[in-house]
Structure 1
Amino acid sequence: RFEQAIGGTAFLCPLYGSGEIGQAFCRNCAVYGGIYLLRRCPRAITIDRTEYGCVAKDVLIAGYQPDKDDVFGGDPGDVSIEKRIPCKVAVVIPGDSLPPAFTSSATRLVRRISILRTAESNGSGLGTSSQLIVIPPRSGTIHNTNVIHVLVQDSSLMVCPPGYFVAHFTTTATCCSSSDRSTRTVDTNSDLEDAIASLQNAADLLFLSSPTEEDTPMELYHRTYSVAIGGVSDGTTSNDGSPLPSNVHVIPRLKQSVTSVDEAFETANVLFRTIVSNDDRNDLEFLKMSQKVRDKFAALRRDYNVSECNDPNEDDMEQSALDSALEMMSPS
């Protein structure tokens, strides 16, 4: 097992930042005939109401028109209009994507991302490529109500140029309750403001305050944001009793955790089983390797076995790595 492997899969915690996970899914989706839309956000799900209940009919995808300052180099003449995509099943994340009545949790995940230049006297600024710092609740001058996780990554992980590092500060805050959420915004919520302040205090204590100026990293940029976490009140109905469409599945945003990646795969597996059982296809496996890919690995193994016979004394590290990968990806 590789330490950075996600669950029992071939997905690895990547270099270049977490965006590589999206790219891996995009490519995997294309191989198996799926479509992965970039920069086209879903705006709404249209519902059909029948005598048997309400059912999601299609997803409305937002249009897009680049402007002259588009950083991705889009042509201002390229206009994508709104489009409806028929769907048999819709999977949504609660919070911003569901009406407030459906959201049971009043907790928000608060994150601050800082880009810093290392101090001249500290060299790389980090002894290793990645560090995880855990700050317990109510820690001194930080004044944090909940635990703060700090993930620090330097240029060896390809997330920034040499001489810089990126720090992710994460904590949670209790927002207003579901009953008064419609009349109270998170921007004016004192608990959220306190959480944001605690992340600033943590950044000041860890990186932005040193006995001498030459030992202090320089923060070039930071951004703080929050998202709702949690799920639907009971998985099928809103707080006022309105039902969710039978083919709409809600997958909750994970709570703050240093092991949330494994939890994400477990949650996805449960959701996959729910959808498959509703479709009467219980023979399907979650993240199963296709026969085409299996045949390709088998051919590679045969080729390596032939080369090993030509030189039986050679320690074939590639063969060992291939066998290990096949064992890891085989169904348990």
Structure 2
Amino acid sequence: PPEPSSRTLDLGVRHAPEFACIPFKILMGTYLEVAEKGAEVILTSGGMGPCRAGLYWVMHQYILDELNTGVKVVAFEPPLCDLKDFIKKLRWVRKTGGLSVKEFVQAIRITWEKIKAIDEVEMLSHEIRPYETNRGETTRRLWQALEMLDAANNEAEIKDAMQEGLKLLQEVSQDHSRNPLKIGIIGEIYVVLEPAANHYIQIMLGEMGVQTDRSIYLTSYTRKNTIVNLEGDIFEVAKPYLGEAPIGGHGANSIGETILYARHGFDGVVQLAPFACIPEIVAKSIIPTVTKDYGIPVLTLFIDEQTGKAGVQTRLEAFVDLLEKRREVKAKRGIERLVI
């Protein structure tokens, strides 16, 4: 589907329940837009655990039916949750698309390779941006790289486009004498992954001269949660603050990742959450204790359809100023100790 726009959100807000969260509304708008373009089937993810996201598709299907779109929503639960159902739905999609097994496997491989390439290019752009000497150059080259990947139609073309995109980014003029602040990005998966939902927060911070690291990428999340659950370590890190209580969504991840960012010497953390997201609200109530124990400042941004780019930028600028002052104070204290 196309990137979510203001029209996408307007459509979602118009047809979604008032108190649904921003991911639900943007997805609703996206589904309506692809229905307008002639889509007959929408493939989406389900979920498990105490979070409403796993049931979004049920309400989305209901609304699509009420609007007589004729679109069918097929939700894939993680194979580790129900492998038989996962395989059954894969077979249905293959037969509905009129593909042979070989063609279907090839389509999945191409999709996966393209997702991996997009993540590689995007990660490199976030590493380079705080060092760029010409503001905005990294972002312009990122869009060029993504356009090349979008045009690639097979694995060889994807590999070539990725290499060319990485080369484009590596050629950005940089000043490595800088010592940028390091900020980790945590929170609910959709608003962390979808730049249109978070107002391109990593680009915004990067152009403020901040090095960012995102806790979730689609490739890493898929590897850790699809076939087997490899996220045990993060829950062990968060366990002292949670006990055995399952708080759902990515709430436990937000706590564990904040601790890991503190251990790795990051200057601060930004928590992104949809307005009224219960798992992230629970995490937010625990994070001040983590901040006290590990000495890492955390800024929480709750996002809904009323959240504007200017407001997000103002809060980020204030947070960055705070972190810079904090770094200066710590450096001064370190010098004083050396003198003493």
Higher strand share: 1
Tell me the TM-score normalized by structure 1: 0.24
Higher helix share: 2
Rg (Cα) greater in structure:
1
Higher RCO (Cα < 8 Å, 6 or more apart): 1
Tell me the TM-score normalized by structure 2: 0.24
